[in-house]
């Protein structure tokens, strides 16, 4: 069999090549050689993007599992498997990213024996570890189905309620705890982003991102695989996203209001520019777009609004983890190209694994199944939508 | 009884013997070029800074409630009852949360190492446990760095402030900052001018409380949230079960009816 060289395959190979070079530098010359992290900036791009954004972007898994299995919104059934797959891959790659960032990754298992229950990092570590296991079990049925193993599917179905509750519990805990990590730095993190409500913001935005990410990946994979797109599902997700964005925006506003920051955030400053960018991308533009019914009912409009809000929340995480520290430190931090290339490699691996999984496993429902669900959507009880929207709170 | 260091910058002559003694104690290289380095690093745990005729030492503050110890996922840092905050390198996984969390930015990293360690002043725990002063206090020719019981040193610092009020900024830095530290500083200039965080900014609240407020809720949150989630699951699926059961019953009834 000959593998054809397409444009994207060449890009993939280049990214992998540069990434492997950076990996070599990381493990043979150390963190100092591969990154621009310093004693003043001990957490760099890998924590800001790979960890904070990575976990956030994998939130679609628990959002969709919650909507479909917890709230029993059957009409969204078709997006659960891709969302769980994305989440599972996301967490695996997050752990890969951690192996780059940790100074002594070979001792990562120390978490299990030298536990410090007061540490937020410990909580995040344990939750991520357990949740990745849960995601593995949630993902297993597609493998069993592929090989036509009926008995194990039955076993897993017996445990499904436990898996679902456990998965959402763990997600609530660690999505919010990633925000709690920064609670101990009140004197370092800029007041635009330091807030006692950080854990709530991180959880709330994870739910919004979970919805936006599901719209993004459904549209994207429909395009790539030439699948028929279920518009009704997207429209329903878009409605929920609008609600989630509003809730998040209100939370942020309340926080600035109560801390008396409203005047300050309007005055131009280095930090204010980044804050404006973040607020515009995550709230103002997508909320405005989604408020138009025409856009909310069109696949392209939904896709655009989702992608913009994703960029907004990525900006938020980078502001919290990098930009917010620059005034305290007194100089800027710009990641080295090798830091970017490791991150790019990890993302490329994610795309490749997703594509392989989609190709060989029953992730997306077959055309026949899709049609059946399309008709099912039409008769779906309308009352399930407010229940689902509550998931955004 | 907790031991502490009192550093009085008005007595300091900037001889940097403390730097050298620290390097010797910790088996670190020390020469003219290291002496000229004006900042702390993985090979320089303490530094004497110069501003005109004034000097200021920087070193780990050995907080009563250290942020580094509370944030470490593997508990590689701990506060000893004698005062020093010490580091167990064999536990460390290298997450660097201690560095990010420390209000004084004291932990430094071996960025060039392939098996890097976190480095900071550990207040010579071997000496302190044996009842001896730290290396820096022992060598100080003017008594600018003084070792002793924290309570005694606080009293002495207060006496100095009272006897010579014109020489000092009227405060003991570390007395209440981040809920008390085991390094106390008296100075004729604001310590903030030498890179110490402002007292107002770091406050008197022990740093671990900021995360502790959230972490202490977790044990309650887990069972409550599980119950809520389980309840939602039960309710949303119960409706379906009831509908299915009703439909079955109806089917049975009509069947029975037709038999009769």
Chain A residues 63-82 with CB within 8 Å of chain B: 69-72
In this structure, how many other beta carbons lie within 10 angstroms of the beta carbon of residue B249?
10
Contact flag A111-B212 (C-beta cutoff 8 Å): no
Give the gap in angstroms from C-alpha B106 to the nearest C-alpha of chain A.
9
Contact flag B239-A72 (C-beta cutoff 8 Å): yes
Q: Which two tokens stand for residue A118?
A: 């007061």
Q: Find, in chain B, the residue whose alpha carbon is nearest to that of A115.
A: B74
Give the gap in angstroms from C-alpha B186 to the nearest C-alpha of chain A.
22
- Homologous superfamily assigned to A45-390: Formate dehydrogenase/DMSO reductase domain (1.20.1630.10)
Is the minimum CB–CB distance between B43 and chain A shorter than 8 Å? no
- Collect contacts of A74-78 with beta carbons under 8 A, ≥24 apart: A74/A376, A74/A380, A74/A384, A75/A232, A75/A233, A75/A236, A75/A373, A75/A376, A75/A377, A75/A380, A75/A384, A76/A233, A76/A236, A76/A237, A76/A388, A77/A365, A77/A373, A78/A230, A78/A233, A78/A364, A78/A365, A78/A369, A78/A370, A78/A373
Neighbour-count burial of A78, counting CB atoms closer than 10 A to its CB (0-12 exposed, 13-18 middle, 19+ buried): buried
Residues of A in contact with B42 (CB under 8 A): 39
Contact flag B215-A118 (C-beta cutoff 8 Å): yes
Q: Which runs of consecutive H residues, i.e. helices, occur in chain A?
A: 7-29, 31-34, 45, 54-57, 60-65, 77-101, 110-113, 120-146, 150-180, 198-225, 231-258, 262-266, 270-279, 285-291, 293-296, 299-318, 324-329, 337-360, 367-379, 384-390
ipTM above 0.85, yes or no: yes
- What are the extents of the domains in chain B? 3-207, 217-259
Q: Which two tokens stand for residue B90?
A: 């064999």
What secondary structure, in 3-state letters, does chain B show?
CCEEEEEECCCCCCCCHHHHHHHHHCCCCCCHHHHHCCCCECCECCEEEEECCEEEEECCCCECCCHHHHHCCCCCEEECCCCCEEECCCCCCCCCHHHHHCCCCCCEECCCCCCCCEECCCCCHHHHHCCCCCHHHHHCCCCCEEEEEHHHHHHHHHHHHHHCHHHCCCCCECCCHHHCECEEEECCCCHHHHCCCCHHHHCCCCCHHHHHHHHCCHHHHHHHHHHHHHHHHHHHHHHHHHHHHHHHHHHHHHHHHHHC
Nearest neighbour of A43 by CB, restricted to B92, B96, B213 = B96
Give the gap in angstroms from C-alpha B256 to the nearest C-alpha of chain A.
30
Is the minimum CB–CB distance between A300 and chain B shorter than 8 Å? no
Residues of B in contact with A180 (CB under 8 A): 211, 214-215
Contact flag A161-B233 (C-beta cutoff 8 Å): yes
Q: Which two tokens stand for residue B55?
A: 């000097």
Among residues of chain B, what percentage have pLDDT more than 70? 98
Q: Which two tokens stand for residue B243?
A: 């509908």
Residue A1 has a pLDDT of 57
Residues of B in contact with A125 (CB under 8 A): 73
Contact flag B100-A42 (C-beta cutoff 8 Å): yes
Chain A residues 95-124 with CB within 8 Å of chain B: 101-105, 107-108, 110-111, 114-123
Domain B3-207: give its CATH code: 3.30.70.20
Residue A393 has a pLDDT of 33
CA distance A184 to B63: 14
Contact flag A103-B94 (C-beta cutoff 8 Å): yes
Is the minimum CB–CB distance between B115 and chain A shorter than 8 Å? yes
Is the minimum CB–CB distance between A334 and chain B shorter than 8 Å? no
Nearest neighbour of B197 by CB, restricted to A125, A165, A187 = A187
Give the gap in angstroms from C-alpha B193 to the nearest C-alpha of chain A.
14
Give the gap in angstroms from C-alpha A337 to the nearest C-alpha of chain B.
17
Give the gap in angstroms from C-alpha A326 to the nearest C-alpha of chain B.
13
A152 pairs with which residues across the strands?
none
Residues of A in contact with B67 (CB under 8 A): 184
Residue A139, CA distances (Å) to A143, A277, B136, B149, B259 in order: 7, 36, 59, 60, 47
Residues of B in contact with A199 (CB under 8 A): 214
Residues of B in contact with A168 (CB under 8 A): 229
CA distance A271 to A263: 14
| A60 Cβ contact partners less than 8 Å away, ≥ 6 residues apart | A83, A86, A87, A209, A210, A211, A213, A214, A217
Contact flag A165-B112 (C-beta cutoff 8 Å): no
Residue A156 has a pLDDT of 85
Q: What are the average pLDDT values for consecutive 10-residue runs of chain B, which has 260 residues? A: 92 93 94 92 94 92 95 95 94 95 95 94 94 94 94 95 93 94 94 92 94 91 93 88 86 70
Task: Give me the half-sphere count of Cα atoms (radius 13 Å) on the Cβ side of residue A315.
Answer: 19
Residues of B in contact with A110 (CB under 8 A): 74, 91-93
Q: What length is written for chain B?
A: 260
Q: Phi first, then psi: what are they for A309, rounded to 5°?
A: -65, -35
CA distance A171 to A161: 15
Q: Which two tokens stand for residue A235?
A: 């429209």
Residue B117 contacts residue B128 (beta carbons within 8 Å):
no
Residues of A in contact with B221 (CB under 8 A): 173
Contact flag B114-A27 (C-beta cutoff 8 Å): yes
Chain B residues 185-214 with CB within 8 Å of chain A: 197, 201-203, 207-208, 210-214
Is the minimum CB–CB distance between B223 and chain A shorter than 8 Å? no
pLDDT in tens, chain A (393 residues): 567 778 888 999 999 999 999 999 999 999 999 999 999 999 999 999 999 999 999 999 999 999 999 988 888 888 899 999 999 999 999 999 999 999 999 999 999 999 999 999 999 999 999 999 999 999 998 889 888 888 888 888 888 889 999 999 999 999 999 999 999 999 999 999 999 999 999 999 999 999 999 999 888 888 877 777 788 889 999 999 999 999 999 999 999 999 999 999 999 999 999 999 999 999 999 999 999 999 999 999 999 999 999 999 999 999 999 999 999 998 899 999 999 999 999 999 998 999 889 888 888 876 434 444 444 333 333 333 333 333 333
pTM for the predicted model, two decimal places: 0.89
Is the minimum CB–CB distance between B114 and chain A shorter than 8 Å? yes
Nearest neighbour of B95 by CB, restricted to A121, A166, A199 = A121
Is the minimum CB–CB distance between B79 and chain A shorter than 8 Å? no
Contact flag A169-B226 (C-beta cutoff 8 Å): yes
Residue A153 contacts residue A145 (beta carbons within 8 Å):
yes
Contact flag A70-B221 (C-beta cutoff 8 Å): no
Contact flag B94-A42 (C-beta cutoff 8 Å): no
């Amino acid at each position: 069999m000959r593998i054809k060289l397409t444009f994207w395959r060449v890009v993939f190979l280049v990214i992998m090549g540069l990434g492997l070079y950076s990996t070599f530098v990381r493990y043979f010359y150390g963190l100092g050689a591969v990154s621009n992290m310093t004693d003043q900036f001990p957490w760099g791009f890998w924590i800001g993007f790979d960890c904070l954004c990575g976990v956030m972007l994998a939130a679609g898994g628990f959002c969709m599992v919650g909507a479909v299995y917890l709230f029993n919104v059957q009409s969204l059934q078709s997006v659960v498997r891709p969302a769980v797959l994305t989440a599972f891959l996301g967490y695996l790659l997050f752990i890969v990213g951690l192996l780059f960032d940790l100074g002594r990754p070979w001792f990562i298992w120390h978490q299990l024996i030298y536990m410090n229950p007061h540490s937020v990092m410990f909580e995040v570590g344990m939750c991520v570890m357990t949740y990745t296991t849960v995601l593995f079990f949630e993902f297993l049925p597609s493998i069993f189905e592929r090989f036509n193993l009926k008995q194990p599917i039955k076993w897993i179905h017996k445990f499904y309620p436990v898996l679902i509750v456990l998965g959402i519990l763990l997600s609530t805990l660690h999505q919010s705890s990633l925000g709690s990590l920064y609670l101990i730095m009140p004197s370092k993190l800029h007041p635009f982003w330091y807030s006692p409500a950080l854990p709530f913001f991180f959880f709330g935005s994870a739910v919004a991102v979970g919805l936006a990410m599901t719209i993004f990946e459904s549209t994207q994979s429909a395009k790539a695989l030439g699948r028929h797109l279920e518009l009704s599902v997207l429209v329903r997700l878009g409605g929920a996203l609008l609600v989630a964005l509003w809730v998040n925006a209100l939370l942020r506003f309340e926080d600035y209001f109560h801390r008396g920051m409203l005047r300050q955030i309007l005055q131009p400053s280095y930090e204010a520019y980044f804050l404006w960018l973040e607020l515009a991308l995550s709230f103002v533009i997508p909320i405005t777009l989604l408020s138009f019914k025409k856009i909310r009912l069109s696949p392209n409009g939904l896709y655009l609004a989702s992608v913009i809000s994703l960029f907004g929340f990525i900006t938020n995480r980078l502001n919290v983890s990098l930009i917010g520290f620059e005034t305290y430190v007194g100089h800027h931090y710009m990641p080295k190209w090798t830091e970017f290339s490791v991150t790019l490699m990890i993302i490329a691996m994610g795309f490749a694994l997703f594509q392989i999984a989609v190709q060989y496993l029953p992730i997306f429902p077959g055309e026949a199944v899709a049609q059946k669900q399309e008709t099912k959507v039409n008769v779906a009880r309308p009352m399930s939508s407010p229940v689902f929207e509550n998931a955004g709170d | 009884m907790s031991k502490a260091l009192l550093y009085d910058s008005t007595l300091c002559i900037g001889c940097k013997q403390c730097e050298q003694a620290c390097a010797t104690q910790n088996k670190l290289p020390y020469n003219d070029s290291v002496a000229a380095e004006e900042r702390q690093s993985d090979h320089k745990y303490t530094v004497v800074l110069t501003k005109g005729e004034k000097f200021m030492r920087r070193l780990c503050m050995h907080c009563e409630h250290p942020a580094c110890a509370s944030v470490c996922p593997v508990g590689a840092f701990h506060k000893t009852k004698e005062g020093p905050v010490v580091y167990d390198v064999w536990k460390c996984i290298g997450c660097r949360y201690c560095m990010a969390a420390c209000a004084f930015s004291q932990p430094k990293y071996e960025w060039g190492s392939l098996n890097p360690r976190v480095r900071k002043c550990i207040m010579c725990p071997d000496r302190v446990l044996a009842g001896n002063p730290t290396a820096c206090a022992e060598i100080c020719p003017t008594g600018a760095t003084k070792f002793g019981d924290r309570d005694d040193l606080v009293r002495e610092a207060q006496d100095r402030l009272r006897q010579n009020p014109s020489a000092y900024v009227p405060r003991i830095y570390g007395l209440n900052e981040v809920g008390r530290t085991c390094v106390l500083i008296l100075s004729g200039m604001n310590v903030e001018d030498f890179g110490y965080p402002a007292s107002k900014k770091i406050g008197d609240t022990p740093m671990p409380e900021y995360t502790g407020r959230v972490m202490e809720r977790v044990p309650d949150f887990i069972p409550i949230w599980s119950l809520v989630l389980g309840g939602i699951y039960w309710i949303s699926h119960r409706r379906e079960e009831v509908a299915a059961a009703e439909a079955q019953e109806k089917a049975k009834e009509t069947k029975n009816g037709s038999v009769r």
